[in-house]
A = this chain, B = another copy of it.
């Protein structure tokens, strides 16, 4: 019962990509360097997000990754689902059907009470994460960053972004 660190990495990556100007891209290795992460493993998460349509990859020299859609349309849940998978945490194995006093098929029209409770809780979880979108994250991070650091980040992005077009 834990979320892989790939989700955290991917969220920070998307927050960084949201800073890029229109059309610009950042290579996977550059992203890993900026965030102080292992390039090879981050690449795996970037692939997952690429498949999910969160980021758009561009191959070749001066290629890299950029957001595939407006930052406003990317939530923390989108990232989590892309990297970690969207399957429910709780998996009902229909225990009520088994055993000497197991329920008949006719009694199982409605979902199991226990599974239903977990499903409701998870629904709230997804909803809460869906509410948080990239611009909010970016602005909150910016609010807590010192001006000197902001300037360094801006400079680094300008130096490392592949300005395609």
Which residues of chain A have a CB within 8 Å of any CB of chain B?
Answer: 1-5, 7-9, 11-12, 15, 33-37, 76, 80, 84-85, 87, 89-93, 95-104, 106-108, 110, 113-118, 120-122, 124-125, 128-129, 132, 136-137, 140-141, 144-146, 149, 152-153, 156
Contacts and interface: CB of A to CB of B under 8 A. Distances in A.
Given A102-B36, A104-B149, A113-B140, A5 B132 contact: no
Contact of A98 (B36, B95, B144): B36
Interface centre among A3, A85, A91, A121 (most CB of B within 10 A): A121
Contact of A5 (B93, B103, B117, B144): B93
B101 A152 contact: yes
A15 to B, nearest CB: 7
A11 B90 CA distance: 12
Contacts of A125: 121-122, 124-125
Contacts of A35: 95, 98-99
Given A101-B152, A121-B125, A129-B118, A3 B91 contact: yes
